[in-house]
Structure 1
Amino acid sequence: MNLLFVRSLLYAVAMAILPMPIQAATLSVKLQQQVRAATFEVVISKANKDPLSYEKPLPMELVPFAERNDRYWSIGTAVAIGANTFVTASHVISVGAGSQLGAPALRDGNGKVYMIDRILKFSLPEDYVVFSVIDPPTTARALPVSKTLAIDVPVFAVGNALGEGVVIRDGLLTSLTPEARDGRWKWLRFSAAASPGNSGGPLLDSRGRVVGIVIAKSPNENLNYALPIERVLGGSEKAALIEIREPFGLPILQDTTVMDFKSAFPLPASYAEFSKQFLALNLQYYESQVAQLLAEQSDKIFPKGETASFFAGTFKRYDPTLVTQKDDKSWELLDTSNDHETKLPGNGRVWNTLGPRMTLFRVQYPEASSDVDRYSDSKGFMDILAKGLRLSRLVGAQSIRITSLGDATQATTLRDTYQRVWQVRSWSFGFVDLQVIVFALPTPDGYVGMAAQSGPAQISVVTQQMKLLADYFFVSYTGTLPQWRTYLARNELRAGAFDQTSLDFDYAKGLNFHTKRLRLDLPNDIVRLGDKTVLNVRMAYLPDGDKLSWEPVSVRVSQEVDEKTSILASRQPKPAEGATKELQSRWDQMLTRTGDFAGGPRHSDDFRELWFRTVVGPTVADKPASLYEVTYSTEEALLPRQLDERRARVLNSISILEH
């Protein structure tokens, strides 16, 4: 037998017994046309005008043609399941609640847009919403539905994949997975590809019937989620159902809580009324979580809990931070070493932390800048803050720096528990449905505060959390004497702690700084005064019975910023039991006037700087609750006798009122 013939015969037999390739499941052309006619993009309008300014013209040619010429953002998919009855995922619709861009809408394959009219059904836990539209399309026939499900049969995921139009992709129905909480329904798991934009689209069987609504893409595997259509068909027509159970925490606390939140509001409702009710419940949910967590932590929440070291500490910092729990549950100042600083001309500065959710900031205006409109000019304020926040817009592959957000879209004030007056403002990004929310606290040299970004549905929640954090905000004050005079004259914006504080100075005579605990009457020849003289006032939270007060506890007057000649009077409370050994040792030295507080003259190795450090206040026998450190340093060429005389005059300029 011919060898070539044998080989050919064996090859033919082998091919005959090998499994043939599986053909991809498809829908007929007619079915595909029906599906496309019944499937819509969910869109939201783009902003008509960009309020932002940029470092250079935007290279919009880098954005795909269709995207840059589209008047709408594509945010999901919806499908017709009845006469003027459409369904999508609830997260597609609810994310736009409160949007500055208006209500979501549907768009068909010809580009015609239909505004949402009424919400007919809504379930947050099952992630679906049924609604009608104004002037519904006449060409779209509702797709048939099927409650019959079988594993390993072909299914088709239909949706506005990646915002580039409706596409149909095939796969298999792989499993029915119980919902995580109580197994009240089973999610459809399927292998058909799903991309951003597929949410809310139909999952079809091989006959083009809707068996589910695409809900989510699996982050780790190509097994995606859909809700069985029978859950939608059997859903309540009388109430929107809200149900959430998840861990909740606050940035200031280590522990979390788990809240089981359930609520509802009447349906049907207009989209505007739905949004109003949804946002109200969203805020109610947040406030309920906060109340539950604070109740659970009532014996640990500041100023209770482990606070001995905190109240005995003397925190010498002027960049802001928060009072927070450490890992061991003791209260301390938040570590803000993950920070960034942007220098401004004229010794100005923008400092900010680099937190993922919220940033703390400090703005120090250039020395020569006028403060006439400083606290009323929202655009000017944000223009400077933006230099530090380094806001940018991604256009194509290029990141373009944002130089201005324009005027604030909303502005109000908040007086916190400690009578600090916050300017609360928000700015719209315009090119995306986000806002920047800023809580800014005026200071003599500029501002300190908090800034966060939020989508429309979370703005009220983010704002409420920032209000809560305002009571845990830690800041001290610094500025030149002219800056202080202007700040204290602004009765409507200065912190309430300074209502009982007076500052008076005459460059030729001296300075008088009085609080309810301390008087500093400083002659000009001890520290020469001028426009560049810096006054630092350190603030502290002080236990006051069952409450806390927030007061000035330290004052430093420096001839200039470099502190070549300065005087410091700083309150040191007696450490409570549980304070660190370092704090207890410091207190013992102050009480006995020994060690660092012996009061004798000191000098640097090169004798250029002279100083002394001593204590003002009661003695050991009086068992004082607090003492005051007094430090004076200078680079004047003084003889020992002259320094002793200076010491006597410094101590004579300080009066302690609380003993």
Structure 2
Amino acid sequence: MHALETIPRKAGTMRSAFRRLALLALVGLYGATAHAASLDPAVLPKIQAATFEVVAAKPVNDPLTYEKPLPLELLPYQERNDKYYSIGTAFALGDNRYVTAAHVLQVGVGSLWGAPALRDAGGHVYPIDKIEKFSLQQDFVVFSLAEQPAAATALEVNAKPALNEVVYAVGNALGTGVVIRDGLYTSDTPEEQDGRWKWMRFSAAASPGNSGGPLLDKDGKLIGIVLMKSANENLNYALPISEVLAAPDGQAVMDSRAAYQLDIFDTLQNGTFKAQFKLPLGLSAFYREFKKHFDAFSDQQIKALLAKESAHLFPNGEGSARLLYQQTPLDNFPTLIVRGSNGEWERMGRQAQHFVLDGNGYVDAGAVGHNGLLHLRRPDGVDAAKFYGDATLRMDLLARTGMFQRTVGGEKIKVTSFGKPTLQSVHIDRWQRPWHVEVWPLPYANALIVQYSLPVPDGCVMLSRFVPAANEHDTKLDLDELSNFVYVTYEGSLAQWKAFLAEPALQPAALRNIHIDFDYGRRFSYASPRVAFSYTPEVQAITPDNLMFLGFRFSLDDGRPVWDVADIDVWKTTASDDHNNVNVQRFVAPPSGLDDDMTSRWQKLSERQYPYNAVARYEDSLMKIDAVVVPAAAGGKSPTVLYTAFYGIEGTHPQADMKSKLDGLTKNLKVMEH
């Protein structure tokens, strides 16, 4: 995710270039109170004729469906009746040349709204024709209009204003007309990156609606472009108009610091977004060219970041061992593997909300960093093939929980459907897991929901983000990489597993080497290149309602990172209060220096000590019995891999009965690896 330092002192620190630029301009939707100015009244008509509101057309069609009609009558009159969003200010230089802030124009990059245009005091809208010159770092753009306003007049320029003189910040937000506020031109401040120019500092009040508007001297002459607010003091920033006039014609110039970061560690990749392309270009062509360069820079940044961290990444890097060798956790809620401040990799994320759906369906929701984490359990009445194949159906199930709401006039209205996604693809992560990638537009917010869904037997787990529309490429770069660090248990009833196993395209590559077979009432079997076992109803009933967990985990095989099953757990039923189960679990000898509990456990396993001594015990309302199973042939060497076989049943039962069940489970259990 990028943090582009285009205008370093804009209020608030946004982690994305486009998000910061867009949201800053959008604050212009909220207006500001005017302070009386004392300019000569004779120059006011000229200023008004030369100053324009920058607007973007509101979307005509809304793909979302709501629980009830939106209460638009609660919105202020201007907001509910205006067909445009106000995003900033622009002004005329003469000869069909107009100026605004680069960050105002960039609201249109990837936008779900109409293209930015100028609107005069009479409400007439003028489309932008050509982009003539552009500077990302200095935050300005010069452009022409397809149709010239009849009353447009150019502002007279003063390229050498004097310090400590009265100045006037001019803005036109929400179609309320020209607002002029006075103050002093107090100082010059070198720009932060290389001191290539100086910002003008002034005390005239300025709201984000002023972005791109003119800064005038005491005589109403143009001296700068109002660009940004000071974060901590009432001294605002403008670019001297002399910088605009001196900039080369026919060029778009990008030369700004940028930082890229992923949510799995604190490392930043600092770089400079440096590119140029020729102008003039039509507005759409300009956006395509700019986005092409910025997306290519994003690609370079994430590659450089991962290259910088390659020797330290889980599961090969330092701090990975504890997570690699701890006992396999079974958790149907997805977690993200993140490196903490102590350098240790750990699973982060937990269920924060639980929503109940009909037919035993549910949605668990949580978050890590900028990412939503979700587990959607498919309702029993929803056909499996339709569920996995229909992104709209899955999203509508999420919406059914009421977790998505749109606020209108202070009232929260539930979104009941997002319609069809505008993009659908499949991303295969490092571990050969197929993530369904879907993008849903939210035109009213100029935003997207980007969602990565991983099919699992009982439904799917999801990585999700709500992002500005311009951030689609950047977001997918992030989620492509983050998907490699998702820890998830595959869980489902045997009936759900049957439907899941019938669809190879839904399955991770690891399942291709695993054969799971069951014949209700007769036999259950599991076979992989690592371990194989089977049992009959004499050990535990075999029914469609059995609940099977495959505990996939990350590990190293001869130094090679793998993602494979290390825990097979089958409950007698899906009922949460009935934990009768059989379990076969893999353990690997831990390296020296890890936690004492890991070393102690391995010693107990190796020496068949309690509780791995095939002696029944009563714990947590269950009778339990464990035994250790060694590899079939270890070549005389001490094995580095051991398996346990477990049987548990509610109530109390004699040792002989428990041992008989355990023997039934281990009778055909074979360990092939060592």
The corresponding residue for 1:315 is 329
Instruction: Indicate conservation of the 8 Å contact 2:514/2:527, yes or no.
Output: yes
Corresponding residue of 2:613: 598
The Cα of 1:502 is off from its aligned counterpart by 1.7
What amino acid maps onto 2:614 in structure 1?
G
The 8 Å contact of residues 569 and 581 in structure 2, kept in 1 or not, is answered as yes
Q: Which runs of 5+ in 1 are unaligned?
A: 1-22
1:333 maps to 347
Question: 2-side partners of 1:416 and 1:163: how far apart?
Answer: 49
Matches within 5 A, 1:91-490: 91-161=103-173, 164-302=176-314, 303-313=316-326, 314-334=328-348, 336-337=349-350, 339-355=352-368, 357-387=370-400, 390-490=403-503
2:67–2:413 contact (8 Å) kept in structure 1: yes
My pick for the range that moved more, 31-40 or 160-169, is: 160-169
- CA deviation map 1:150-180 (0-9, x unaligned): 1221111111246644311111111111111
Instruction: Letter of the 2:638 partner, please give it.
Output: K
Instruction: Map Cα deviations across residues 206-249 of structure 1 (whole Å, 9 max, x no partner).
Output: 22211000101223222111100011111122321112224432
Aligned residue identity for 2:598 = L
Contact 1:238 1:267 in 2 (8 A): yes
Equivalent of residue 633 in structure 1, options 648, 654, 668: 648
Aligned residue for 1:622, secondary structure, equals: coil
Rg larger for:
1
Higher mean C-alpha deviation, range 639-648 or range 530-539 = 639-648
Q: Secondary structure at the match of 2:210?
A: coil
8 Å Cα contact 1:95-1:456 kept in structure 2: no
CA positional deviation for 1:601: 0.9
1:320 partner letter: P
Which deviations, in whole Å up to 9, do the C-alpha atoms of 1:463-514 show, x marking residues without a partner? 1111111111111100011111111111222222111122221112111122
Q: Which residue type is aligned with residue 380 of structure 1?
A: L
The 8 Å contact of residues 552 and 567 in structure 2, kept in 1 or not, is answered as yes
Comparing 339-348 with 177-186, greater Cα deviation is found at 339-348
Q: 1:6 matched to which residue of 2?
A: none
Q: 2 CA distance for matches of 1:339 and 1:626?
A: 36
Structure 1 counterpart SS, 2:475: helix
SS at match of 1:297: helix
Fraction of identical pairs, as percent: 36
Q: Which shifted more, 445-454 or 589-598?
A: 589-598
Match of 1:511 among 510, 521, 524: 524
Shift of residue 576, structure 1, vs aligned partner: 2.0
Aligned to 1:20: none
Give the C-alpha shift of residue 431 in structure 1.
Answer: 1.2
**Paired residues for 1:52-63 under 5 Å:** 52-63=64-75
Note if 1:66 corresponds to 2:81: no
What amino acid sits opposite 1:114 in the alignment? Y
C-alpha contact 1:311 1:573 (8 A) present in aligned 2: no
Contact 1:351 1:388 in 2 (8 A): no
Q: Displacement of 1:640 after TM fit?
A: 2.8
Partner of residue 509 from structure 2, selected from 496, 499, 516:
496
Q: CA separation in 1, counterparts of 2:463 and 2:254? A: 31
- Check conservation: 2:378, 2:387, Cα contact below 8 A: no
Compared CA separation, residues 24 and 481, structure 1 to 2 (3 A)? closer
Taking the aligned partners of 2:426 and 2:310, their CA distance within structure 1 comes to: 29
Query: 2:209 aligns to what SS in structure 1?
Result: coil
* Cα distance change, pair 193–146 in 1 and its aligned pair in 2 (3 A): same
Residues 196/389 of structure 1: CA separation in 2 closer, same or farther (3 Å cut): farther
TM-score, normalised on structure 2?
0.90
Rounded Cα–Cα distance in structure 2 between residues aligned with 1:79 and 1:642: 89
Structure-2 residue corresponding to 1:658:
673
Distance 2:162 2:661 in 1: 94
1:401 maps to amino acid: K
Look up the SS of the partner of 1:94 in the other structure: helix
| Aligned residue number for residue 575 of structure 1 | 590
Q: Distance in 1 between matches of 2:368 and 2:411?
A: 23
Aligned length: 634
* Matched residue, 2:29: none
Shift of 1:57: 2.5
Q: Does structure 1 conserve the Cα–Cα contact (< 8 Å) formed by 2:371 and 2:465?
A: yes
User: After superposition, what is the alpha-carbon deviation per residue over 1:516-542, rounded to whole angstroms, capped at 9, x for unaligned?
Assistant: 212121212211122211110010122
Asked if the contact 2:351/2:364 (under 8 Å) is kept, the reply is: no
Task: Answer with 297-306 or 620-629: which moved more.
Answer: 620-629
**Deviation string, structure 1 residues 277-301 (Cα, Å, up to 9, x no partner):** 2112222222222222223223212
Q: CA deviation at 1:577?
A: 3.1
CA distance in 2: counterparts of 1:273 and 1:327, whole angstroms: 44
Deviates more, 1:419-428 or 1:301-310: 301-310
Structure 2: distance between partners of 1:246 and 1:32: 41
- 1:647 alignment counterpart: 662
The answer to whether the 8 A contact 1:282-1:461 is kept is no
Q: Contact (CA 8 Å) 2:298, 2:474: kept in 1 or not?
A: yes
Residue pair 1:146, 1:211 contacting (<8 A) in 2 also:
yes
**Distance apart, 1:624 and its partner CA:** 1.5
Mark the CA change 1:355 to 1:64 in structure 2 (over 3 Å): closer, same or farther. farther
SS in structure 2 at match of 1:366: coil
**Contact kept? 1:240, 1:266, Cα under 8 Å:** yes
SS state at 1:285 partner: helix
Deviation of the 1:648 alpha carbon: 1.2
Assess, with a 3 A threshold, how the Cα gap between structure 1 residues 25 and 486 changes in structure 2: closer, same or farther.
closer
Matched, 1:623 2:635: no
Inter-partner Cα distance in structure 1 for 2:180 and 2:237: 16
- 1:569 corresponds to which letter in structure 2? V
Work out the CA distance in 2 between the residues paired with 1:233 and 1:428.
Answer: 39
- Closer, same or farther: CA 466–503 of 1 in aligned 2, 3 Å: same
TM (norm. structure 1) is 0.92
For 2:564 and 2:589, how far apart are their aligned partners in 1? 17
Change (3 A) 1:24 1:116: closer
| Change over 3 Å in CA distance of 1:24–1:169 after alignment to 2 | closer
Show the counterpart of 1:13: none
Matched letter for residue 329 of structure 1: G
Q: For 2:445, what is the secondary structure of its paired residue? A: coil
Whole-angstrom distance in 2 between the partners of 1:141 and 1:74: 22
Q: How much does 1:389 deviate?
A: 7.6
Q: Deviations over 1:373-406 (max 9, x none)?
A: 1122222211222355822212112222222211
Letter in 2 for 1:614: A
Residues of 1 paired with 2:594 and 2:298: CA distance? 35
> What secondary structure is seen at the aligned counterpart in 2 of 1:298?
helix
**Cα 1:624–1:160 shift into 2, 3 Å:** farther
